[in-house]
Amino acid sequence: MSPKITTELLKQLRQVMKSPKYVREPVQAYIVPSGDAHQSEYIAPCDCRRAFISGFDGSAGTAIVTELHAAMWTDGRYFLQAAHQMDNNWTLMKMGLKDTPTQEDWLVSVLPEGSKVGVDPFIIPADQWKRMSKALRSAGHDLVPIKENLVDTIWTDCPQRPCKPLLTLDLSYTGVSWRDKIVALRSKMSERKVLWFVVTALDEVAWLFNLRGSDVEYNPVFFAYAVIGMNTIRLFIDGDRMMDPAVREHLQLDSTLEPEFKIQVMPYGSILSELQAVGASLLPKEKVWLSDKASYALTEAIPKAYRYLTPYTPICIAKAVKNVLETEGMRRAHIKDAVALCELFNWLEKEVPKGTVTEIIAADKAEEFRSQQKDFVELSFATISSTGPNGAIIHYKPVPETNRTLSVNEIYLLDSGAQYKDGTTDVTRTMHFGTPSAYEKECFTYVLKGHIAVSAAIFPNGTKGHLLDSFARSALWDCGLDYLHGTGHGVGSFLNVHEGPCGISYKTFADEPLEAGMIVSDEPGYYEDGSFGIRIENVVLVIPAETKYNFKNRGSLTFEPLTLVPIQTKMIDVNLLTQKECNWVNDYHQKCRKVIGAELERQGRHEALQWLIRETEPLFRVQ
């Protein structure tokens, strides 16, 4: 990797920061955040403005350019990468280190008195704006919205915003029509006495209208906004895609519908002016519901007194609870995904000893097997295919510079998943193709105990996921070990592989209580820098639990694994398991054998079936 030369670019940016063509008054600093206008996790090439201006293309980072300085804030995952990719015009601000100033403090320290700091109001979320603006104002500076994105003005070969065809999902996939979803949303709006709801997150638009797209990688979404009134539906979306007869039919654009279900299609770019018109039309006490993560521009379109902001929208919460058809789809997707992984691991078992399989080859092979499955769409995230020390890099993605060859001497960690038309998968298995050491087995077994402790946990209805996080760590803690990431995240149904509002983490963010039908991952791990990484991840469905008693009639919940891929018994030190844990493993493997075995059989994949049968032999404790 050689750094991007940014001298000329920064010169140009500093010019437009003073140009009356773009700014009413010159700005002394300009902030280039990572995100897009929807706060998406994965962004389109046209939104990679921070990577364009700096060269640093990691997933997290904020650039700030002043007359004299250019600085980049990023976290520990990216210190090395950012240092390699940026030239010496840039100062790397290592977040999480004690001496690293916050963006606000740094700005205050370098700016001349009474400065103006510019930012694109469409990219910065309202809550961040508020914090930053307050800090700057208290030091005598001003945060100002710059309508035109200044990076875009100098990005001459900026790629076009993607505008790919849409996929319509019928009731057999979604279980609920978009009309019924609108009805349910309006009823939530009535409850809270709001008149309008603004949909800004891309997965929320996709879910609401039972549509999918491919405008960004991994997340099957498309660029759009929606504004739902009690009697109106406005969808802001660009391109020919709305000419597609299947889409027109799906949205009933050409039918004579009751007016309250008639969708008005408007240009993507007109959201702001339309929302400003809504804002201007409001009577006292009328409210507009927005996520508190919506952009500053859209939030400001509604006068403050009329805003109703919540951390999670009613769509986010409804979307998290999967209905019967979505759950069945998720089950089907996970069966197909398991078939692909049985094929892969069987193949690796034969090929790894030859010394010809690299991390990239293994990742490609996994994709190849998945793509053979029905309704495969794409991967659900960049495959983490890592062997030996690379496994200890939690967000590793193999690239030619780091690509390692799998061997019989190292642990291999594969964290991968796919989008199928009926569901989204995300699974991690940690394998050894030779003979693991006693220490590797010991660590693996602690991680497994944590995985089981969460998966088999029974807890009252209304419990928040963060209350389960310590169960995953207890066996590791007993030996002085731990892992520095959360235990699980919400998973979408043929949607984003990471979604709110639930999760399992020691970070007590505002997670919503778990309820039956929610789907999360269960993925404890252990990482030894420079040596190996271990993670065992299943996607699990929240289901009602049968219990002996029923305190206050609250009811109980537990998890059902949707992922059905064998956990390598070779890595387990069975004598560290309790009998209950041992039974859990055997029951799980029994189910893998039955369900995935039948599908392997049906698909005529006999060799993989033999592998599955071998890998699901029951364990016995010798104590």
Contact positions vs its own copies (CB under 8 A): 457-460, 466-471, 474, 476-482, 506, 508, 545, 547-552, 554, 556, 578
The SS3 call for residue 310 is: strand
Provide the β-strand partners of residue 427. Answer: 416
The nearest distance, CB 270 to its own copies, in angstroms, is 32
By C-beta, is 468 or 495 nearer to its own copies? 468
The nearest distance, CB 505 to its own copies, in angstroms, is 11
By C-beta, is 42 or 527 nearer to its own copies? 527
Residue 187, C-beta contacts closer than 8 angstroms, at least 6 positions apart: none
The whole-angstrom separation of Cα 467 and Cα 590 is 30
By C-beta, is 247 or 456 nearer to its own copies? 456
Backbone angles phi, psi at 37, to 5 degrees: -70, -5
By C-beta, is 221 or 536 nearer to its own copies? 536
By C-beta, is 15 or 547 nearer to its own copies? 547
The nearest distance, CB 446 to its own copies, in angstroms, is 10
The nearest distance, CB 577 to its own copies, in angstroms, is 13
The SS3 call for residue 464 is: strand
Count the helix, strand and coil residues of the chain and give each as a percent rounded to the nearest 5.
40, 20, 40
CA 197 to mean position of chain CA atoms: 23
By C-beta, is 255 or 547 nearer to its own copies? 547
Q: What would the two tokens of residue 511 be? A: 């997670």
**454, 504 contact by CB (below 8 A):** yes
The nearest distance, CB 518 to its own copies, in angstroms, is 18
Q: What would the two tokens of residue 439 be? A: 């220490």
The nearest distance, CB 138 to its own copies, in angstroms, is 8
The nearest distance, CB 545 to its own copies, in angstroms, is 8
By C-beta, is 72 or 545 nearer to its own copies? 545
**300, 317 contact by CB (below 8 A):** no
By C-beta, is 230 or 305 nearer to its own copies? 305
By C-beta, is 256 or 623 nearer to its own copies? 623
The nearest distance, CB 104 to its own copies, in angstroms, is 17
Q: What would the two tokens of residue 445 be? A: 């077994």
**295, 121 contact by CB (below 8 A):** yes
**Residue 472: burial class (beta carbons within 10 Å; 0-12, 13-18, 19+):** buried
The nearest distance, CB 98 to its own copies, in angstroms, is 13
Task: Give the largest CA-CA distance in the chain.
Answer: 80
Residue 408's alpha-carbon distances to 168, 411, 436, 533, 552, in angstroms, are: 46, 8, 9, 15, 54
Provide the β-strand partners of residue 20. Answer: none
CA 460 to mean position of chain CA atoms: 27
CA 469 to mean position of chain CA atoms: 19
